[in-house]
Amino acid sequence: MSGTGGDSGRNADRSTDRSIGDGPASPAPSAPGAVSPAQSAPGGPGGGHAASAGPDEGPRPPSWQALITGLLMALVMATIMVTTYVSAQHAVVARDLPWGVTGSSPLTTAVQEHISLKIHHYKDQAALEDAANRTEIYGGFVTQSNTVVIAEAASLVAPGQMPALYEKAAKAQGQHLAFKVTNKLPKEDPLGVVPGIAVFVLLVAGYLGSTLAMQRTGTAAARRRVLSLIGYAIVAGLVFDVIIGPILDAYPDAGTNFWPLWGEFTLMCLAVALLAATLQSLIGPIGTLLTVVIVVFFGNPSTGGVNGTAYLPAFWQYLGPVLPPWNGTTLVRNTLYFDGNAITQQLIVLSIYVVVGAALVTISTYGHLLWWRGTKRRPPISPEEEGGIAAIPPA
């Protein structure tokens, strides 16, 4: 018995030695129904969460502070939007409406008692009509023939308001009037809304393209960013032009107007895209919101819409010419309905946005304007921001 026991002990010792030399010993068989440590508990990879998770594993509950901050930002943005749109458009009252005359008349004096006019003097009816075609005036009164001239495409309100005021004054004084309409709106756009709609879409396309490009690349000022935005604007302008003109037939003389509108659409889209890229390069994610505030919340109401700039409050009349939307809307409208007259200022302003924006984004690419943010450049668009604000309805 003792010999057998001794042999068993020596065999056990040799077995232990082999186990230590060869590596870890195999785990002991598990009892039926037992769960090994390596297996997932219910809710693991095969069914759920692990039995014990570290403190950093799994989604954390949302922070109430972050939630409230986000809702407050949305409330502030909505408040700005309702304030700007309503303040600009709630009262359709003319303020210094540009109006031409060929001489003094008691009829014009009577009309001025009911509407604010900025009088321009011309030698005859031909000169007055030429001024209307150059968008200097909304229309005028020819004293020699008692003729009311109205430029229909200049405003949706003035063609009805001004003849009515003159007719009322003429009836009171026992005079007869004649009427002449110039710059008529075409059947493709009888209300003159196409320029405003096209420009609004270009605003969204501009800042959305810049935002999505950065969301995908993780940086606002990447190499070749300006070139990529130029290419994007060219394609976007072409697509919109094809849809609005040849496909939907929404503007007149598509064969003639197609090519200049393509360039104007491209310029408008690129100006807003580079404005967005510049702001996002300098101040990060908030640059997207600031772009929306500038071009949509303030820029879009300052265009005057179909009513015309003369029917805006004074603040909006002064603000519009320095922002892309007013210049873009005026550029497209004058190209379509005023024989391409009076577009030099608009082309210059939009070109300034493009040149300055391209320069700032290029400089930001090499970090020369990021000194105040430290040496480490942080991505302006987080993975959670899938495109910024993309759907803001027009007023």
- What pLDDT sits at residue 312? 97
Contacts 24+ apart (CB under 8 A), 379-383: 379/214, 379/218, 379/219, 379/220, 380/214, 380/219, 380/220, 380/280, 380/281, 380/283, 380/284, 380/285, 380/287, 381/211, 381/214, 381/215, 381/218, 381/220, 381/280, 381/285, 381/288, 382/285, 383/215
Residue pLDDT, tens place only, 115-137: 999 999 999 999 999 999 999 99
- Tokens for 390? 């993309």
- Tokens for 343? 């577009």
- What pLDDT sits at residue 36? 44
Strands lying side by side in the sheet with 147-151: 117-121, 97-101, 139-142, 147-151, 178-182
284 backbone φψ class: left, alpha, beta (φ>0; ψ -120 to 50)? left
Residue pLDDT, tens place only, 221-259: 566 889 999 999 999 999 999 999 999 999 999 999 999
| Distances from the Cα of 357 to the Cα of 12, 211, 281, 311, angstroms | 82, 15, 11, 31
Global confidence as pTM? 0.78
Comparing 21-35, 98-112, 176-190, the range with the smallest average pLDDT is: 21-35
Query: Please, which pLDDT band fits residue 39 given cuts at 50, 70 and 90?
Result: very low
Query: Please, which pLDDT band fits residue 198 given cuts at 50, 70 and 90?
Result: very high
The answer on pLDDT for 324 being more than 90 is: yes
Q: Which of 302, 327, 305 is nearest to 315 (CA)?
A: 302
Neighbours of 212 (CB within 10 A): 17
